[in-house]
Structure 1
């Protein structure tokens, strides 16, 4: 989207259909292709929103006869990422027969039970035992008498759908080729209404769903897709003709802080804000402060429009009934004023949400959900969206960005209208939506947790990043060398099939793991890394320091003064600097946290030739105990003391491995690979332990993970040895 606030805000979309790509695909593969095209642009369709379908003749597995089958996006699917297993398949004629059952129940006056009971009938219509649950929008696709149907949520079309004179605007834009249906909750009744409107208006190409979106169709698949694009562009062209530019939303009320200044303010306020919204469920944030978003937040009409809330059902299921607009003047008010405004605003928001829930609930309603906002708007600073993980908070930001565009368009040509509160409640607390939530897999143990791994470029740190991501954590991978930190982030995401999700030029757009450079001996470098983590995720919960320095002795085996200084700077003072700086974040959040420092078995086992390293690690052991006292009670501090871990360690380059093999008089061939030489050395170290097993990266990451997790929630100030059993290191 162009960021200009003065012209062409509502962009045209181009057809991405490629006849060569589409040729030869089977009907389901072609449906996937069409769906992915429509889902690839959030301006056309929200993540997880919208539906597509195809009616296809298939061979019945029992009778062997051809049967008409509706393939439709399944419940909870996403058009952008959909593959064949994401689509439900149902016998079309059986779906049509359900109309008789619906009408018989509707005549009893029990409309809502009739509506909900229809979803229980869909499994009886399943074709070929397909396990994918169909969408609640299935009737919309089944009852439209065309082979191909697209239902999307395009920003310019929803702008017309939410205007108070939407039907009149529709006529100006589309003439007689599109019809209008007033807001109805998605489901069976809406499907019947669409069927009726099409029967009464033969030749129309689509229908605008009031407050909701667009649905259109064709008997040719490419034509259906091209119709979607054409109808979206007609709405965009019309709105651009009426675009108000700098005067949108009533014109400017506040002025944004310059980017560097607002990022400093955000880094300062976000941990406090995160702690405030995480009182029931912990959240991870996404900051959005682009020009267009800030223009809305800074505008005269922003408080009024924010209070109205969103309209499209998919929007407020993510963004809640409304955002929190914080009354703060960026040019005149202080940081303390901002904290006060946030505290007061959140208190009022929770009260409003409880009132909204209690005013519209019925005896069968689920319990009230978290009353904290998921979208917060602060003049001069931007929008902060919250979710249970980074991906969800980014989607929440995406949804409210679409809502801003919808309001901008509607207010340019008319007055924006939101969904009535009762309708909004009925969607948010719909039994079918609750069932969808209940079907979701349980959250991983580290979900909602932000973890910084320092020393993530290799060895234990790199392995730990992978483990934490797999356990649901959101991870900042830090290393002295920024390129190796970013490489770790990219490698881990590719390893688990998430694709590249690291931050680009703007850290606020990061994925579930980011790679950052950080020199823990330099306080300013640590501050910058924590600033970036805070902007990326809103705060920080846990820190694992795996970085360490083994000073290289000279040819005589001596470590010079500089080596001593560097050893203590990294292994002791660096850990203190990290803890000292993160302490401010922990205090502002007032949430539970933890820190795990990697020390060494050498901290308690004196060895010839490693005096500087060993004494620095001994000091680190005591630092753990001191920090445990200083950061109690909300933050636990523990350590892991491995024996020598050769596997994957940057502290064991080839020359050091060879030097060690010579030192211990071990046979080896200098032509062997570095990994083979490392294995020889690791086996020797293992021979000196009670278990006779090499110390592995997995064993270290398991210990660190356990200390971060709830498994050791009452353990602090302790060092866990993972050394294979060194009797010299036994507690004494």
Structure 2
């Protein structure tokens, strides 16, 4: 049974974490102190429950809490070796664990344990950080809060900061919290309700002051020619730029992208102070660990020709990498971790929006959210003072902190398709759905493309949140519809890496009964549709410069000559030769093109359920419900082919082990000798 103190702590944490004006994703921490029985002695013992390392307040559950013996935690004060060795205290937290200890303790554990209050909140509200990063933040804190909230000058999170805040509370018994210079706020209370009320009051008071006293245009005037482009034009420009920018941001390691064109972002990008403020970088450690010390800013107006903008982005990216390496070399010591990568995490394009990047979609999206927080912080600080983030050297100390390196090392090994963006046509049912499911399970972000919008949406929802999959409505016979769908992939994830041409349909008729319309329909969907998708996706892949995969779901019917099947078989043969032609052409760009030749997939197939099954059963003189068994019995392995078998072949071709294979057709037919490739 959950301890009542823990129940109250979790409820408070979830409320605070659910409000983006209160704290950012995975930022801040909360704690509560109380008494519980020691599992060994059965005697009461004083404990502290505190959010563990890497957790998120909004979704925090009991397993995400660290549980520590308060007497042992506070005894660390007596053995503290001083600020130069304060990192050693994090390892000592493990010896303060109660029972199994729960989640790994975070660096902020000392702040919560050493402060003499039963309940403590440490948060990163935009309004609070705005005061914390103002050049005269200490004077503003006094003016805004009187003696109820005390200023604490910047200090890197750790044991010494915990001691500092504890001393401030002892010296100021009337205080309910502190503003942490360059960082955020900490509040406390005798009860969970009082602590939460104090946190919210500090945030509301700071917000009210900024609203009432702040300058009307803290970022300066709108620069001539830098106003946001109209919606449709802006999104089209973003989709064209996204693959290029993603490729640049993936120079050191593959990244997934996220695009943001919110009003707050577009306004900042249009203003006079954009470049000087962006150059100062973010301040709160949670911000710059996600966004890097500063963004890359395109210094051209949105009216610049696209080719000129792309060329300038390439120049700026090269300069950014040189500057980042110089930043690393200025501050690195012999025991610093190796430089992790010199590419930007945030790219700002005036008139268009913000591109953010990360190892996966969630990380990319959260990086963008953090930079929006940073924009709000800069706006608030500039409205009442001058934005003055912590020094660059302090940013480096945190970015390349040994403790941060250890946290990164604890991350699970990425899945085989992590960082890849897959675009699957006909993914609303049958084989396409199975492929989408498998690719998502292997770590890919998936664009579920289908002409049936409802089916696409259903499958995307089954795969998870929009950080995993997005639906797009696409009629592959239309060049405009295909272009719009690939643009949607670029806006959702930054581009496309893995294309599966699966959309198809089947009409089984003898030659003399096959109409012109039958022929045109099957060739439009499969031959022309595959061509349109491959052409459009290849354009994005080439712009990214990261190679890629194109997989055609062809058929054994492209090789095997069966009766009453001329239109379908010819269209599949067309697809099969497209594989060879495109493998020859796209190899120079590192793009592999391969095919999968399934036998008839009866169970779970949208094609067979739509009438093709009845037609083929009639051709072979078997009941429709026995068609799958019939197909199985004519194979060498006597096994029925299912959608997941086709999906497995797609994964094998794209998962990394066949890195040198292109132009191949993989039979997934349980052994149809007449369809052997020669």
Aligning the two structures, in what range does the TM-score lie when normalised by the shorter sequence?
over 0.9
CA contact (8 A) 2:64 2:102 kept: no
> What is the aligned partner in structure 2 of residue 324 from structure 1?
296
Deviation per CA, 1:149-200: give whole Å up to 9, x if none.
1110010011001101111111221111111100011110000001111111
- Quote how far apart the aligned CAs of 1:552 are: 4.9
Q: Does 1:653 align with 2:609?
A: yes
> What is the aligned partner in structure 1 of residue 675 from structure 2?
729
CA contact (8 A) 2:451 2:475 kept: yes
Q: How does 1:512-523 map to 2 (within 5 A)?
A: 512-523=468-479
Q: Does 1:445 align with 2:405?
A: no
CA distance in 2, matches of 1:643, 1:365: 56
CA contact (8 A) 1:553 1:560 kept: no
CA contact (8 A) 1:177 1:206 kept: yes
Q: Does 1:250 align with 2:212?
A: no
> What is the aligned partner in structure 2 of residue 180 from structure 1?
151
- Quote how far apart the aligned CAs of 1:711 are: 1.6
Deviation per CA, 1:8-30: give whole Å up to 9, x if none.
xxxxxxxxxxxxxxxx9722222
Q: Does 1:298 align with 2:270?
A: yes
Q: Does 1:35 align with 2:6?
A: no
> What is the aligned partner in structure 2 of residue 420 from structure 1?
391
Moved more, 176-185 or 278-287: 278-287
> What is the aligned partner in structure 2 of residue 287 from structure 1?
259
Q: Does 1:125 align with 2:86?
A: no
Q: Does 1:399 align with 2:370?
A: yes
Q: How does 1:279-678 map to 2 (within 5 A)?
A: 279-331=251-303, 333-493=304-464, 501-502=465-466, 511-553=467-509, 558-633=513-588, 634-653=590-609, 655-666=611-622, 678=625
Moved more, 475-484 or 398-407: 475-484
- Return the TM-score normalized by structure 2: 0.97
Deviation per CA, 1:431-487: give whole Å up to 9, x if none.
100000001111111111111001101111101111111111011010111221111
CA contact (8 A) 1:557 1:609 kept: no
SS of the counterpart of 1:446? Answer: coil
Unaligned runs of 5+ in 1: 1-23, 494-500, 503-510, 668-676
Q: Given the alignment, which residue of 40, 44, 48 partners 1:70?
A: 48
Q: Does 1:79 align with 2:57?
A: yes
Moved more, 446-455 or 569-578: 569-578
- Quote how far apart the aligned CAs of 1:336 are: 2.6
SS of the counterpart of 1:350? Answer: helix
Q: Does 1:225 align with 2:171?
A: no
SS of the counterpart of 2:657? Answer: helix
SS of the counterpart of 2:57? Answer: coil
CA contact (8 A) 2:507 2:612 kept: no
- Quote how far apart the aligned CAs of 1:659 are: 4.8
SS of the counterpart of 1:207? Answer: strand
CA contact (8 A) 1:552 1:563 kept: no
SS of the counterpart of 1:75? Answer: coil
Query: Cα 1:385–1:661, aligned 2, differ >3 Å: closer, same or farther?
Result: same
SS of the counterpart of 2:58? Answer: coil
Deviation per CA, 1:637-674: give whole Å up to 9, x if none.
1000000001211111265444544544445xxxxxxx
Q: Given the alignment, which residue of 66, 74, 78 partners 1:100?
A: 78
Moved more, 568-577 or 453-462: 568-577
Deviation per CA, 1:293-346: give whole Å up to 9, x if none.
111111111111101111101000001011111111224x32232123212211
> What is the aligned partner in structure 2 of residue 151 from structure 1?
122
SS of the counterpart of 2:386? Answer: coil
Query: Cα 1:251–1:324, aligned 2, differ >3 Å: closer, same or farther?
Result: same
CA distance in 2, matches of 1:282, 1:74: 29
> What is the aligned partner in structure 2 of residue 9 from structure 1?
none
Moved more, 680-689 or 191-200: 680-689
CA contact (8 A) 2:506 2:612 kept: no
- Quote how far apart the aligned CAs of 1:131 are: 4.3
> What is the aligned partner in structure 2 of residue 508 from structure 1?
none
> What is the aligned partner in structure 2 of residue 13 from structure 1?
none
- Quote how far apart the aligned CAs of 1:243 are: 3.4
> What is the aligned partner in structure 2 of residue 91 from structure 1?
69
CA distance in 1, matches of 2:349, 2:284: 23
CA distance in 2, matches of 1:231, 1:131: 30
Q: How does 1:272-283 map to 2 (within 5 A)?
A: 272-283=244-255
Q: Given the alignment, which residue of 51, 54, 70 partners 2:32?
A: 54
CA distance in 1, matches of 2:432, 2:671: 23
> What is the aligned partner in structure 2 of residue 202 from structure 1?
173
CA distance in 1, matches of 2:353, 2:507: 46
CA contact (8 A) 1:306 1:323 kept: yes
Deviation per CA, 1:64-97: give whole Å up to 9, x if none.
1100111000111111111110001000010000
> What is the aligned partner in structure 1 of residue 650 from structure 2?
704
CA distance in 1, matches of 2:389, 2:610: 66
CA contact (8 A) 1:42 1:398 kept: no
CA distance in 1, matches of 2:230, 2:10: 44
Query: Cα 1:240–1:662, aligned 2, differ >3 Å: closer, same or farther?
Result: same
- Quote how far apart the aligned CAs of 1:250 are: 1.4
- Quote how far apart the aligned CAs of 1:729 are: 1.2
Deviation per CA, 1:357-415: give whole Å up to 9, x if none.
11111111000111111011111111111111111111001100000000000001001
- Quote how far apart the aligned CAs of 1:553 are: 3.6
Deviation per CA, 1:555-606: give whole Å up to 9, x if none.
x983212101111111211111111222221221111101000111111111
Q: Given the alignment, which residue of 641, 646, 665 partners 1:695?
A: 641
CA distance in 2, matches of 1:420, 1:647: 63
CA distance in 1, matches of 2:618, 2:166: 84
- Return the TM-score normalized by structure 1: 0.90
CA distance in 2, matches of 1:268, 1:665: 53
CA distance in 2, matches of 1:399, 1:593: 30
Deviation per CA, 1:27-83: give whole Å up to 9, x if none.
222211111111112221111110000101010111111001110001111111111
CA distance in 2, matches of 1:176, 1:186: 24
CA contact (8 A) 2:423 2:499 kept: yes
> What is the aligned partner in structure 1 of residue 238 from structure 2?
266
CA distance in 2, matches of 1:93, 1:383: 48
SS of the counterpart of 1:627? Answer: helix
